[in-house]
Chains A and B, each alone.
Chain A
Amino acid sequence: MRLLEDLGRFILLFSHALAKPPNWRMYGKELIRQMYDIGNGSLIIIALIAVFIGAVTAVQFLYQLDGTLIPTWYIGYIVRDSTIIELAPTISCLVLAGKVGSNMASEIGGMRQKEHIDAMEVMGVNTASYLIMPKILAALLVIPLLVILAAFISIIGGYLASVLGGFMNTEEYTRGVRAFFIDRNLWMMLVKAGVFAFILTSVSCFQGYYVKGGSIELGKASTNAVVISNILILVSDYLIALMFTT
């Protein structure tokens, strides 16, 4: 029952959020601010995680393929496809749900508690639209770019672990990275990045927008934002994988 109630409120909130802005310039400014916050604020953590994703994937597959007939240059291929298809979008977005999502829930929840949202409503501002839409749009624009960057850095991470680790030479790794390329996998990565970006921002904004009470409730809203986003990201990851592979 509670789930249905929340779903109804979620749909209502987003139907309000889709209203035409009274002033595009203000929304544009807010969009740029959000893009900067999401992009600049997450760049280092995404790059750091990505390099280790690539390195660990390379090392673990080297271990698993050791002693088999599969040639070692396959490692480049495995690292490339596993990061593009799965690891870069999913792990990046799970991390972003924790970082960006909880931040959005706290920001909007704090505004609710400090009556900022009420103040805007009295002025006539459509707060669902002004506070939520720029965040979602910013995430839809910036998170796919972060995911592309994460995939690229992961492949470099795989290179560092395999070549600098002395398991193969540059030519072998490059041969693997260039082998069996299917461009549809890139689309799968971008679709995942877009869907996950929408999930993590919309769920977090929803949790923050309806927060009631004090700091404990704000903390719970922030935690719920991360937990629910993560679950929905994993479920949608599975569904997108089914869509693209069957």
Chain B
Amino acid sequence: MIRANQLIKSFGEQQVIKEVSLEFETGKTNLVIGRSGSGKTVLLKMLVGLIRPDSGSVLYDGEDFYSLDKKELQHLRMKVGMLFQGSALFDSMTVEENVRFPMDMFTHLTKLEKAKRVDYCLERVGLKGNNKKFPSEVSGGMQKRVGIARAIVLNPQYLFCDEPNSGLDPKTALLIDELIHDITVENNITTIINTHDMNSVMEIGETVAFLSNGVLCWRGSKADILKSENDNLHDFIFASPFIQKLLEDADILK
């Protein structure tokens, strides 16, 4: 479980995260939703240590991330996997080398053991046989899957995904969502996903937190969303007239 306590972050005069406290449960896909600029990415980056909060703490199963010494931090980082919005694959490396990179850097496994693990991860994300391709030779959806394979190669206990569906067509986005959800359940890991895609919320949003202007406005499950009376959340969910019409027709939204 990951717990964020009273996180605050400002850039200059602007406070972008305002005393956010949240719990992310193990074995579940925890979604953080909100409009662009609501502070989702800053929150995620604070959770993984890429941006240091001005105050507050982040606890990984009780361990305070920002109080760890260098060795403890390195140990914890080995348990963290992250999928970036743009996949962040290293252009000069093949798919296989990208996935193998964390093992090359931090493990003493043999070549054969690494090769087996890479093959397993690529097969798990449905990319068997693409080992020798470069990131530029595969599609955006495939790049995301390579990113997932790289994120899970060290068997992480915590998986972070920043906008995993951005730039993908709805069907590929659904595949990525399902993949992340299945990996979370199979490995009983804590997964945190930043998204503004309502399809993701309805598909895999086991716990959902809604951020608006850096403030945590609402928490609940996907089942609770439609019943919520939070105006901000309501505006966010039903921003699309198409969805609004569908729900009205189905007599879900009154």
Partners in one complex: yes
Chain B CB within 8 A of A121 CB: yes
Answer whether A118 and B88 are a contact pair too, CB < 8 Å, given A123-B77, A124-B74: yes
Which residues in chain B, 80-118, are within 8 Å of chain A measured between CB atoms?
80, 82, 84-86, 88, 90-91, 101-102, 104-106
Chain A CB within 8 A of B50 CB: yes
Which residues in chain A, 181-196, are within 8 Å of chain B measured between CB atoms?
none
A108 smallest CB distance to B (angstroms): 13
A214 smallest CB distance to B (angstroms): 13
Which size class do A's interface residues fall under?
10 to 19
Answer whether A26 and B104 are a contact pair too, CB < 8 Å, given A118-B50, A122-B50, A124-B77: yes
Which residue of chain A has its CB nearest to the CB of B76?
A124
Question: In the docked arrangement, what's the CA distance between A121 and B74, Å?
Answer: 10
A29 smallest CB distance to B (angstroms): 9
Q: Which residues of A contact B50 (CB under 8 A)?
A: 118, 121-122
Partner of B102 from A114, A121, A123 at Cβ < 8 Å: A123
Verify B105–A125 contact, CB threshold 8 A: yes
Answer whether A115 and B84 are a contact pair too, CB < 8 Å, given A121-B50, A122-B50, A123-B77: yes
The interface residues of chain B, by DSSP majority, are classed as mixed
B77 smallest CB distance to A (angstroms): 3
Verify B106–A115 contact, CB threshold 8 A: no
Question: In the docked arrangement, what's the CA distance between A121 and B77, Å?
Answer: 9
Chain B CB within 8 A of A116 CB: yes
Chain B CB within 8 A of A7 CB: no
Question: In the docked arrangement, what's the CA distance between A124 and B107, Å?
Answer: 12
Question: In the docked arrangement, what's the CA distance between A14 and B160, Å?
Answer: 30
Interface residues of B (CB under 8 A from A): 45, 48-50, 73-74, 77-78, 80, 82, 84-86, 88, 90-91, 101-102, 104-106, 160
Identify 13 residue pairs between A and B in the complex whose beta-carbon atoms are under 8 Å apart, listed by A's number.
A23-B104, A26-B104, A115-B88, A116-B88, A118-B50, A122-B160, A123-B77, A123-B80, A123-B102, A124-B73, A124-B105, A124-B106, A125-B105
Q: A114-B88, A115-B85 are in contact. List 11 more A-B contacts (CB 8 A).
A: A22-B74, A23-B106, A26-B104, A115-B84, A118-B88, A122-B80, A123-B80, A123-B105, A124-B74, A124-B77, A124-B105
